[in-house]
Amino acid sequence: MRISRLPRSRNHLRRIVAQMDLPVPWNRDELVNSVARRRRRPILVVPVAHALVRGGHFGLWLARATDDVILYAAGTSDVHATHIICHELAHMELGHDRTAIGDTSVDSRVLAEAAPSVDTTDVVKVFGRSNYSNDQEYDAELLATLIMSGRRSTMCDTGGDPRASRILGTF
């Protein structure tokens, strides 16, 4: 009997989400602060020019000497921006800075153009992946999706209807 890695992976990722102890509903700041506390490192989230997208990346994670920076493409929807941030936070939660596989390089000119306000002198590693075919990307995307499923819309009144809240929380 063949046992798939997928259910084990999902169960492991669900445990990570539970350990994050996020309130429901949560907002982006609460999520970022939760991961920062767990990592014992500040995390800065910066919207940047669409040069990241031209470089094939919607988001980047800069691991600096004393903190982490998440860059995401400005001008995208709030839900998409939050998902991009969740994806980069998922890489952090999964320890992908210790075990990076695949191409994690980013053109320094693209980075300088996209994020001129971010000090890159003490960047230790840059994680920007445009290829989603490896296990780390799969796991980060799945974890980001699981984290997002706990988000509930704070913009709309659902009248206390749990079904409406659940539907709105998936988008």
Residue 25 covered by a domain:
yes
Residue 161 covered by a domain:
no
> Strand 59-64 and strand 123-127: pairing?
antiparallel
Helical (H) or strand (E) element with 87: helix 78-93
- Going through 7-147 in order, the beta strands assigned E by DSSP cover 43-48, 59-64, 68-73, 123-127
Residue 21 covered by a domain:
yes
Residue 57 covered by a domain:
yes
Side by side, the strands of the sheet bearing 59-64 are 43-48, 68-73, 59-64, 123-127
Q: Which residues pair with 103 in a beta bridge?
A: none
Structural domain containing residue 76: 5-151
Tell me if 74 sits within 8 A of 49, measured CB to CB.
yes
Residue 104 covered by a domain:
yes
Tell me if 68 sits within 8 A of 41, measured CB to CB.
yes
Nearest C-alpha neighbor of 28 from the set 78, 102, 92: 78
Residue 166 covered by a domain:
no
Amino acid at 83: H
pTM recorded for the entire structure = 0.76
pLDDT for 123-168, tens place per residue? 777 776 655 567 888 889 999 999 998 775 444 445 556 666 556 5
- Going through 4-106 in order, the beta strands assigned E by DSSP cover 43-48, 59-64, 68-73
Residue 165 covered by a domain:
no
Residue 159 covered by a domain:
no
Task: Per-residue pLDDT tens, the chain, 171 aa: give them.
Answer: 444 455 457 888 999 999 988 888 889 999 999 999 999 999 999 998 765 655 566 788 888 889 999 999 888 888 989 999 999 999 999 988 776 554 555 666 767 776 778 887 777 777 766 555 678 888 899 999 999 987 754 444 455 566 665 565 555
Q: 3-state DSSP call for residue 164?
A: helix
**How many distinct structural domains can be found in the chain?**
1
Residues 6+ apart with CB under 8 A from 143: 13, 16, 17, 86, 90, 93, 94
